[in-house]
Amino acid sequence: MNSVISAERKKDLLDFCRKLGINFNDLKLLDLAFHHRSFSNENYSGRLMNNERLEFLGDSVLGMATATFLYEDMVENPEGDLSRIKSVVVSEKSLAPIARNIGINRMLVLGKGEEMSGGRDKDAILADCVEAIIGAYYLDSGFDAAEDLVLSLIVPEIRRVQQNKGEKDYKTLLQEFFQKAEKTCPVYELVKKTGPDHDRTFWVKVRLNTREFGPCSGKSKKAAEQNAAKLAWEELNSPNFEF
């Protein structure tokens, strides 16, 4: 970015780096990582003065660093186990709490509309910013430094999942996987409800293009959707599955 960083903003950026144990040579690059497109749309007439390109880059660095760690850490596990854990720990559901923990929500630069709609606490914006910071650090200091940053953030999440302490959100996993693979979202359909009002059982199926999975049951619609997503996710990751 060409704008001059104010003394107050520079102090905030340096404090952020110090808490993470990192050092940026170019603070403008780090500052850009916090700029959401809503701000550039309102202030730069839609010019690329936001963190989306850094997010694109950081996503790849995050994936590579996480995959390498899992490959070296879980030498007795098959590819399916590595893929499952990687999908969980690099997901929006895992990255958003990390973002809040390291103070990204306080550092975001948002447009007025996004600010008023609660954008500072939206999981998608927070997770994207984590990736943008990783991308910025990669450009600023190289892959080894960026990898160290990734592992400092992600390894605790990996350990939680390995110890079965991480909650597996199969709907999120399925949506993120399917969006990347097919550029569309899973569709959930409530098939039926059984039982009395005080003890309902819900039956839901999920459709991925022309393939349907389920129906699966649950004591709430949300639980039934999770079970249907789990069924689809496990079949998607089976060795012989094809769309």
Residues 55, 135 contacting (CB under 8 angstroms)? yes
Which residue in 69, 73, 232, 81 sits closest to 164, CA to CA?
81
Residues 67 and 169: their CA atoms lie apart, in Å, by 20
Cβ atoms < 10 Å from Cβ of 9? 16
Active site residues: 59, 131
Phi, psi angle pair for 149, to nearest 5°: -65, -45
E strand residue ranges, the chain? 187-194, 201-208, 211-218
Q: How many residues does the chain have?
A: 243
Burial (Cβ within 10 Å: 0-12, 13-18, ≥19) of residue 82 = middle
